[in-house]
Structure formats: C-alpha cells, structure tokens
Amino acid sequence: MTAPSHPRPQRMRTSVPAVLALGSNLGDREATIRAAVADLDAAAGIRVEQLSPLVETPALKLTGVDHHAPAYLNAVVVIDTVLGPHDLLDVVNAVEQRHGRVREERWGDRTLDIDIIDYDGRELDDDRLTLPHPRAWERGFVLAPWHSIRPDARLAGHGPIAVLLAATTDDVRPYPDSGATHHAARAEQFEADEDGGAG
C-alpha cells in the first residue's frame, strides 16, 4: 500500500510519541480504520507502535448522542514520529481524504475521522491545531481504547487517563473479534529517515 500523497514535510531529527484517535460510522468501518492505520504506518516519518482494540459507540452529534445515526467504530494508535505537529496534521488530513472524508457538516457522519489527541505531552493552540485535543479528556471512546494499551498514560493538563475514563458516562462497547495489534513495520526505514533528517 502506497503512502498518501502530500508535500515532503520538514522532519525533526529525533522521534517523539503521539496518540491519534480514529473513528468511522459510514461504509465498511473496520476495513477503513485498519487501512488508515496501514496508511499512517506507510507515511514517511511515522511508525505505528500500537493499535488498540476497536470499540463501538453511538454517534455523537452537536446536539448530543444520536441513536438514529450509524454507530461509530473507534480506535487509538500510539505512534513514534519525526514530524512536527503541523506536518503530522497534514498527513492525517491526507489519509482522511484518501478514505473519502468530506468536511461539509460539523459533527456529521463520516467515513473516517482522525484526531491528534496528544503529541509528546505538549500544549499548543493556534489557528490549525490545539494540543492536547480539547475534548479528549471527556470522551470515553478515546479514553477507553487508549487506556487498553497504555493504562498509565496521562493527558497533558488533565492528568491520568484512568481517572478521566472513570468519570465518563459514554456508552463504549467492545467490538467483536477486536484485539490490540503491535506494529514494528518499517523500523529500518523509519530509522533511516530519522538519521537522514529532511533530505
């Protein structure tokens, strides 16, 4: 599978961890999420380290939970990346577009949604990106899969995700036949990218 098309990013020389949340409620949801994870792992400067089990949740709209809309499948991936946060966002947006994401309705149904939840514990707020994700602290469909693979993780500015998860009331259900997947793909290429800088 080829990497999504996007301009060559400027890469940092050392890798940092980041957490991405993926969701889909249209089409073949599981296939879309797994293909998107493969695309992320194939992108220059990104290595997927862990993929959480899938979970299923009712659709969340601007007015609240919508039980009439198709349910979402959600997952979290932990990555290592030599990309800066905005370059990572560019890759994320390209992967979304590759899988049919259309940005017409805020909080609308979608084939794929990818959010940067945490980037090396850093805080950022500009016209393109807010870190950590401003609503991650209250979203069970982010916290539950994240906690399943990194139970000791912390969300910058909010504390341990185990404590945050315990306070949520979201209806988060395990998805059948879903298991955590650990990735070590492309390690040699990733290290070569890291050693070579932005060349």
Sign of CA dihedral 190, 50, 137, 152: negative
Which residue in 39, 41, 87, 115 is the catalytic one?
A: 115
pLDDT class for 180, splitting at 50, 70, 90?
very low
Is 50 exceeded by the pLDDT of residue 183?
Answer: no
Sign of CA dihedral 107, 112, 117, 120: negative
Pair 106, 62: CB distance under 8 Å: yes
Average pLDDT for residues 137-148, to the nearest whole number? 97
- pLDDT score for 195: 53
Alpha-carbon distance of 15 to 48, in angstroms, equals 12
- Greatest mean pLDDT among 2-6, 60-64, 77-81, 179-183 lies in 77-81
Pair 53, 178: CB distance under 8 Å: yes
Q: Give catalytic status of residue 110 as yes or no.
A: yes
Q: Give catalytic status of residue 101 as yes or no.
A: yes
| pTM over cut 0.85 | no
| Sequence ranges of the domains in the chain | 11-175
- pLDDT score for 67: 75
Is 50 exceeded by the pLDDT of residue 198?
Answer: no
Q: Give catalytic status of residue 113 as yes or no.
A: yes
Strands (E) in 37-87, as ranges, are 46-51, 55-57, 59-61, 64-66, 72-83
Which residue in 11, 29, 47, 110 is the catalytic one?
A: 110
- pLDDT score for 3: 45
CATH number, span 11-175: 3.30.70.560
Average pLDDT for residues 30-43, to the nearest whole number? 97
- pLDDT score for 126: 96
Alpha-carbon distance of 134 to 185, in angstroms, equals 31
pLDDT, tens digit, 9 for 90 and up, residues 152-174: 999 999 999 999 999 999 999 99
If one compares 9 and 51, the residue with the highest pLDDT of the two is 51
pLDDT, tens digit, 9 for 90 and up, residues 53-109: 999 999 877 676 767 789 999 999 999 999 999 999 999 999 999 998 766 556 668
Is 70 exceeded by the pLDDT of residue 182?
Answer: no
Which residue in 39, 41, 87, 113 is the catalytic one?
A: 113
- How far from chain centre, in Å, is Cα 131? 13
If one compares 55 and 197, the residue with the highest pLDDT of the two is 55
